[in-house]
Amino acid sequence: MRGCDVALLGLIEVGLACSGRANSNTLPPELQVLGAPSQTLDVKFPLSSPPYAVNVQPGGTLQASDTVDAPEADVGPLSKHGSNLFVFMMVDPDINTTHPTYVGLHTMVANLTPYNENGAASHSSHPFTTVATYIAPEPPAGEFHDYTLLAFHQPPHFSIPAKYASYVATTPTSPLNRINFPLQQFIADTNLGPVVAANWFKEGSA
């Protein structure tokens, strides 16, 4: 079982992660620049058939069929830190191997609030704002990419500066406009502060 990192993986990923890639739980490259988050972000991808959702495990491997629909982040465990609103992103730091903070932007959501205690609330019932619509992973054949899920406290008056409008847009040529999104500069320009919680997975083919 060497290289399988079984302890970190949910049952669903066991077997998929045994491709011989070492260090599958290593922090993705952009987080090595931004700094390790103190908490793991609870994220799941909804599925249309049983088991109806797949939970992201740090460094785990997912299949394309797991990530068709937009990820859902549970920011409830983070809300004790103050702000009740969060900004959530999914990015690909492996599109630019020399500048890992120039990421591919797969989605950005603002005004995300904690789930209800009763568990009845679904992601769609929350008044979150989709800033950048979800684009599923499209790793080039023969490559595995990291996909990182990030949560930030949303600062007051958060908005998207005009110079980033082209990056968050959804256009007929998307995802080309989402490439080389300057994440670190965006964080500085919008006062997002440190990554509060993160999670990540790998997807691709050997």
Ligand X SMILES: *[C@@H]1O[C@H](CO)[C@@H](O)[C@H](O)[C@H]1NC(C)=O
Q: Which two tokens stand for residue 77?
A: 């465990």
96 part of the interface to ligand X, by CB under 6 A: yes
Q: CB under 6 A: which stretch of 67-75, 94-102, 153-161, 184-192 binds ligand X?
A: 94-102
One-letter amino acid at 27 equals L
Q: CB under 6 A: which stretch of 48-56, 62-70, 92-100, 123-131 binds ligand X?
A: 92-100
Q: Which two tokens stand for residue 183?
A: 């994440």
Out of 26, 55, 79, 99, point to the residue binding ligand X (CB under 6 A).
Answer: 99
Out of 180, 184, 185, 193, point to the residue binding ligand X (CB under 6 A).
Answer: 180
Contact pattern for ligand X over residues 25 through 64, marking x by CB under 6 A: ----------------------------------------
Give the CA-trace dihedral at 28, 146, 24, 152, to 10 degrees.
50
State the nearest-atom distance from the C-beta of 177 to ligand X, in Å.
Answer: 13
Question: DSSP of 69-122, one letter per residue?
Answer: SPPEEE-GGGGGGS-S-EEEEEEETTS-SS-TTEEEEEEEEEEE-PPPTTS---
Out of 45, 88, 102, 186, point to the residue binding ligand X (CB under 6 A).
Answer: 102
Pick 153 or 178: Cβ nearer ligand X: 178
Pick 99 or 123: Cβ nearer ligand X: 99
Q: CB under 6 A: which stretch of 48-56, 80-88, 96-104, 137-145 binds ligand X?
A: 96-104
Q: What is the three-class DSSP state of 11?
A: helix
Nearest to 199 by CA among 153, 151, 148: 148
- 103 Cβ partners below 8 Å, 6+ apart? 30, 91, 92, 93, 95, 96, 148, 180, 181, 183
Report the interface residues with ligand X, using CB under 6 A: 96, 98-99, 102, 180
